[in-house]
Amino acid sequence: MALSISKVIQKARSELANLTGLEISSTVRAEKEGDGWLVVIEVVEKRSIPDSMDILAKYETRLDTDGNMLDFKRAGMRKRIDVSEGEE
């Protein structure tokens, strides 16, 4: 049975948190990709004071049709305060 996009996102967030030990901040993107899914998740790499200076990392994860994570990679980092127009 095919998973709904919400279940795919839940599985990606849970698995990435388990694998990296990092706190999930937000889901940036989720889309069907061939026979699987691409889910992009932002995590807190390093807490700072003030929290606007936290270091956030964007991870790309790929999951199969059953929601099993096939791979993940860090695709970039930024300070929480750094927001650019036109971001995904």
- List the pLDDT tens digit at each of the 88 positions of the chain: 678 999 999 999 999 999 999 999 999 999 999 889 999 999 999 999 998 899 999 999 999 999 999 999 999 999 989 876 555 4
Could you please state the CATH topology (level 3) that the domain comprising 5-79 is classified under.
Nuclear Transport Factor 2; Chain: A, (3.10.450)
Distance from C-alpha of 59 to C-alpha of 75, rounded to nearest angstrom: 5
Q: What is the pTM of this model?
A: 0.87
Distance from C-alpha of 88 to C-alpha of 30, rounded to nearest angstrom: 11
What residue segments make up the domains of the chain, in order of their start?
Answer: 5-79
Q: Please give the pLDDT value at position 52.
A: 87
Distance from C-alpha of 38 to C-alpha of 85, rounded to nearest angstrom: 22
Q: Please give the pLDDT value at position 2.
A: 77
39: number of Cβ within 10 Å? 28
